[in-house]
Amino acid sequence: MFISFSGYLLLIFIILFIGLRPIDGRFFGDTANYNARYLQLQLGSEMKIPADVGWFYFMKISSKLFSIHTFFTICSFIYVYPLYKLSKQLFNSYWFYSFVMFLVSFSFWNYGVNGVRNGAACSLFLWGLCYREKKFVVAFFFLLAISFHKTLMLPIIAYVITHFYNNPKIYFRGWLLSIPLSLVAGGAFILLFTSLGFADERAAAYLTNQDLEGTSAKTGFRWDFLFHSAFAVFAGWYFVFKRRFRDDFYFQLLNTYLICNAFWVLVIQANYSNRFAYLSWFMMAIVIIYPFLKGDFFKSQPLKMSNVVAAYFAFTYLMFFVYY
C-alpha cells in the first residue's frame, strides 16, 4: 500500500515538475524554442504545416486555449502517464518498480524537457502497447505517434515485424552484425537511410551533419553509447538464453529494441545520432525489468532487482554529472 501510494505521488510530482519548469534554453534544451513557436501561434502568425501534422495542430489548438506552462504540463502528461499505464497493465501491484526504472533511465529527463516532441511520440507508442489485444486502438496510438514525430515509423515497423517472426536468436545476430558493418561502412549507411527518405528534413539533417540547436554534436563511433545500449541487449540475452525465459510479448519488446538499436548502430557515426538512439533507448527500462517482475530466477530476487535498478541509476548519474 505504501509503495503504491508513493508511486502515485511520484507520478503526479514528475508530471508537474517537468511541466512547470522555467522557460530556459540554457538548462532545458529546446524549451525556449518550443516557447518561441508557441508564442508565434498565440499571436496568430502563419506557419507552414510540417510533416508532423499531429504535433503542429496539437500546438496550434493548445495555443488558443492554454498558457505555455499548461501546454508543457499536458506534454509532460503525455510523456509520463504511458510509462505508468504500461507498467500497471503489465505488472499489476508491482508497477512501481517498472515505473521507477523508466524515470531513472539515461534518456528520460532529456526527452521530457529537450526533445519534447520525440519523447511524447515514443510514449504514445508505449501507450498503444497497453491495448495490444485491440488492434484498432493500437493503430490509433501508432498513427498519433507518427503524426507527432515521423521517426516513430521505425519502432512501429519493427514491432509489426515481430508479429510475423519473433525468434530473438536472429535479431541478436543482426544486432551483433550491425557493429562491424557500421565500423566498415557507416558512412554508406548514413547516406542510404537519408536517400530513402526515412524521416523529415530535420531528421535527415541529423544524419547529414547539419548544425542543429539543442542536440549533441559529438561524432565518431560512440562506444560509450553502444556500451549503454548493450545493457538491454545483455539482459535480454541472459534471461532468454541462459535462464530460458519464455514470454511472447517480452520477445516482441526485446526484438523491437534490437531492430531499432541495430538501425542506430549503423548510423552511429553521424552527428546527433543520439536522436536516433532514443528510438530504442525509450524501451530499455522495460526490456531490463520485465523478466524480474514476471519470472522467478534468483534467491532474494527483490534484492537483486533493487541492485539492478540502483546500478542503472548510477550509470545515468555518472553520465550526466561526471562523464559529460
Digit-by-digit pLDDT tens for the chain (324 residues) are: 778 888 999 999 999 999 999 987 677 888 888 999 999 999 888 777 777 899 999 999 999 999 999 999 999 999 999 999 999 999 998 999 999 999 999 989 989 998 899 999 999 999 999 999 999 999 999 999 999 999 999 999 999 999 999 999 999 999 999 999 988 877 777 777 766 555 455 555 555 554 444 344 455 678 888 988 999 999 999 999 999 999 999 999 999 999 999 999 988 887 666 778 889 999 999 999 999 999 888 888 889 999 999 999 988 888 777 655
Secondary structure of 243-287 in the HEC alphabet?
CCCCCHHHHHHHHHHHHHHHHHHHCCCCCCCHHHHHHHHCCHHHH
C-alpha cell at 82: 504511458
Nearest CA-CA partner of 45 in 33, 63, 71, 67 = 63
Q: How far apart are CA 117 and CA 128, in angstroms?
A: 17
Chain-centroid distance of CA 202 in Å reads 18
C-alpha cell at 122: 515514443
CB burial string 101-117: b at 16+ within 10 A, e below: bbbbbbbbbbbbbbbbb
Nearest CA-CA partner of 141 in 162, 118, 123 = 123
